Structure 1
Amino acid sequence: MTIATLPAYPPKPRPGDRVAVVSPSAGLPEVFPRPYELGLERLRRDFGVEVVEYPTTRKMAAPEERARDLNAAFGDPSVKAVISSIGGDDQITVLPYLDRELIRAHPKPFFGMSDNTNLLAYLWSTGIVGYHGGAVMTEFGRPGAMHPLTEASLRAALFTHGEHELRPADTYRDVDRDWADPAAFAGEPPMEPGSGWTWRNADRVAEGVSWGGNVEILSWLLMADREIAPDPSVYDGCVLFLETSEDMPSALDVFGILRAMGERGLLQRFSALLWGRPKAWSLESPNSAQEKVRYANDQRAAVLRAVEAYVPSIPVVLDVDFGHTDPQLVIPYGGRIRVDGPAGRVTVTY
């Protein structure tokens, strides 16, 4: 893989344009239609776009089939943006079937997160800015209503160019409802008080192109040596942003991944680190309030331990709301981020 230039922003859609909805990871709209249909309704009604679905959007499909739909969505000149339905765990197997030259010739905003880190990193290495966040089933299909911070961030990222300041959420949620239960969509989900952001080395300003995503997926890309620049100097001065998923990796695993990135010489290239608020609860691991606090504190300590070992002087901001918790702020993947410690501000360019 070679990277000739840093990623460029693709043209943005306008209300009324056709927007592709795809399932590059898992066809979960087939299994859980309620959040999917709700998300589509909001895309059409509130965002005013025309939704275009593909053969694998609503079904579990082989990697080659999912790649075929992605190639078709990017290659269709009438489609102005591409949005993922949800994440999954095997999108890395889709990448070899993508047509890089077709996608490079038809750059479009792509929105996704979690397992979609694979495609976001692929677009980065293809020279296209992507958007970390905004899956149909999770953000657009949120029970009750879209969170105002999520909606404002998504609307700005989808339709506009320019700066957008990220702000700490007053309340947040990491407890999920069972999508198979109709009662899960009966009202607004319960929220908890937000704790704000935690800054380290906040005496300086860092600004650069972003790279990162879900840390577990990035670890797989690193192991497979996929979409990782052979010359790490490509990442010099970039802002690293990382978050963890509902799989809830242990603090030891998080430290191990960051340590491996440090030993590879990657961590030392970045000018700042944004770390997403840890998701400390899942349907498979329904932690108590005390267990949630312990898990999140252990993860933060692991991150800072790795930072101290490899990049002790860079600015770090913990608990930024861009990961698997709610609300979710969109991060431009390959776009510019300004981390202003003295002002306590993080500004992204959409």
Structure 2
Amino acid sequence: MTSPMYPPKPRPGDRVAVVSPSAGLPALFPHVYELGLRRLREEFGLEPVEYPTTRVLGADPRDRARDLTAAFADPTITAVLATVGGDDLITVTPHLDDAVLRANPKPYFGCSDNINVLNHLYRLGVVAYHGGSVLVHLGRPGRPHPLTFDSLRAALFTSGWYDLRPAPEWGDQPGDWRDPASLAVEPEMFPGEGWRWQGPSTMVEGRTWGGNLEILHWLMATDRVPSAGELAGSVLMVETSEELPSATEVFRILRNMGERGLLAGFPAVLVGRAKAWDFDRPHTPDERRDWADAQREAVTRVLAAYNPDAVVVFDVDFGHTDPQLILPYGGTARINAATQHISVRY
């Protein structure tokens, strides 16, 4: 494995690429997209640059790969932000020009299906960033979430250590993008209860890897994940999407990682807060609590079998819930179970 390399950071006033390597949802929800672009300009002082497929639904994977490669190749572009996730980015990464990506490393921000790109960059030795969707996070209804924007600002512009903080409030019920009026209404939030810690009271420092659990399963099926040896000593981060995989499915995916020899090598595991609501499954608050409890039990059970000595932190806000903390992907994280602190190096 190539030694990890942190790309140079942008500065306010720079041009940054805004791309849709997964789904071209700006074509369907331009009001959400334009809000995200406006905040990118006003809150961060960055000038977004669109590419031909940014607002195109169903663009050919080769065209999306061409745009992503072009964003890295352009010397006037200093960072690359994905608009949103999707479900077929796995067909795009084989068409990327790895020589261009290696020669022109830039901070890449994305989550959900963008794990395909984050993992691809990881295997090229380039540190990327989990989080920062233009539609979901920059285009959040009502107002930006302070924790999301604070960590995104730090990840964009700074290179030092950043202390993650438990969210004082959280939510997992987004507004309906089909209704432009929904952008005026802040999402429903619930009181935060802090992180939940399991395992030994020790400190772990290592490179981060992982992301959305469903996408990781696809990557394992296509044999595109690093080897157990390459990942040994890393910090695993896992979270689940709006497809709401059951606790049984979560257990089985992690069990497959264990059988592949991956789980035993992670001295620490960060588990994102379980998303437990979607439009076709509008769970009540009590049902959401039960859902999250079942997810935590599934993770605990599989780690007891494959890595009982791991430090495990549940309910870290880095997945498909709100707020979303930005985590370096392939960068360094420090998990101190004795003091119950998590720091990342941007």
- TM class, shorter-length: over 0.9
Q: Residues 113-192 of structure 1 correspond to what in structure 2 (within 5 A)?
A: 113-192=111-190
Q: Note the C-alpha offset of 1:288.
A: 1.4
1-structure distance, mates of 2:103, 2:253: 34
Structure 1: state its 5+ residue gaps. none
Contact preservation (8 Å) 1:212, 1:218: yes
Structure 2: state its 5+ residue gaps. none
CA deviation map 1:302-336 (0-9, x unaligned)? 00001101000110000000000000000100010
Q: Note the C-alpha offset of 1:202.
A: 4.4
CA deviation map 1:213-250 (0-9, x unaligned)? 10100000000112x12x42111110000100000001
Contact preservation (8 Å) 1:10, 1:108: yes
Contact preservation (8 Å) 2:147, 2:324: yes
Contact preservation (8 Å) 1:251, 1:299: yes
* 1:320 corresponds to: 316
2-structure distance, mates of 1:187, 1:215: 30
Between stretches 282-291 and 234-243, larger displacement belongs to: 282-291
* 2:80 corresponds to: 82
Q: What secondary structure does 2:26 align onto?
A: coil
* 2:99 corresponds to: 101
Residue 65 of structure 2 is aligned to residue 67 of structure 1 = yes
Contact preservation (8 Å) 1:202, 1:340: no
**2:332 aligned partner, one-letter code:** R
* 1:246 corresponds to: 242
1-structure distance, mates of 2:254, 2:188: 33
- List structure 1 segments (4+ residues) > 6 angstroms apart after TM superposition: none
**2:35 aligned partner, one-letter code:** L
1-structure distance, mates of 2:188, 2:181: 13
Q: How many residues align?
A: 345
Q: What secondary structure does 2:52 align onto?
A: coil
1-structure distance, mates of 2:222, 2:250: 18
Residue 23 of structure 2 is aligned to residue 26 of structure 1 = yes
Q: What secondary structure does 1:273 align onto?
A: strand
**2:8 aligned partner, one-letter code:** P
1-structure distance, mates of 2:184, 2:7: 38
**1:260 aligned partner, one-letter code:** N
1-structure distance, mates of 2:344, 2:302: 25
Over the residues paired in the alignment, what is the CA RMSD in angstroms?
0.8
* 2:258 corresponds to: 262
Q: What TM-score, normalized by structure 1, do the two folds share?
A: 0.97
**1:116 aligned partner, one-letter code:** N
**1:119 aligned partner, one-letter code:** V
Q: Note the C-alpha offset of 1:105.
A: 0.3
2-structure distance, mates of 1:281, 1:62: 31
Residue 261 of structure 2 is aligned to residue 289 of structure 1 = no
2-structure distance, mates of 1:285, 1:33: 26
Q: Note the C-alpha offset of 1:190.
A: 2.1
Residue 8 of structure 2 is aligned to residue 50 of structure 1 = no
**2:163 aligned partner, one-letter code:** E
1-structure distance, mates of 2:3, 2:30: 38
**1:272 aligned partner, one-letter code:** A
2-structure distance, mates of 1:202, 1:311: 12
Q: Which residue of the other structure, out of 268, 289, 295, is the alignment partner of 1:299?
A: 295
Q: What secondary structure does 2:53 align onto?
A: coil
2-structure distance, mates of 1:337, 1:186: 36
Q: What secondary structure does 1:274 align onto?
A: strand
* 1:200 corresponds to: 198
2-structure distance, mates of 1:6, 1:258: 27
2-structure distance, mates of 1:22, 1:32: 15
Q: Residues 191-230 of structure 1 correspond to what in structure 2 (within 5 A)?
A: 191-226=189-224, 228-229=225-226
Q: Note the C-alpha offset of 1:144.
A: 1.2
Q: What secondary structure does 2:25 align onto?
A: coil
Q: Note the C-alpha offset of 1:79.
A: 0.3
Q: Note the C-alpha offset of 1:7.
A: 1.9
Between stretches 88-97 and 285-294, larger displacement belongs to: 285-294
Q: Note the C-alpha offset of 1:62.
A: 1.2
Between stretches 285-294 and 39-48, larger displacement belongs to: 285-294
Q: Note the C-alpha offset of 1:46.
A: 1.1
1-structure distance, mates of 2:159, 2:291: 37
1-structure distance, mates of 2:3, 2:236: 15
Q: What secondary structure does 1:46 align onto?
A: helix
**1:218 aligned partner, one-letter code:** L
* 1:36 corresponds to: 33
Q: What TM-score, normalized by structure 2, do the two folds share?
A: 0.98
Contact preservation (8 Å) 2:200, 2:309: no
1-structure distance, mates of 2:31, 2:7: 31
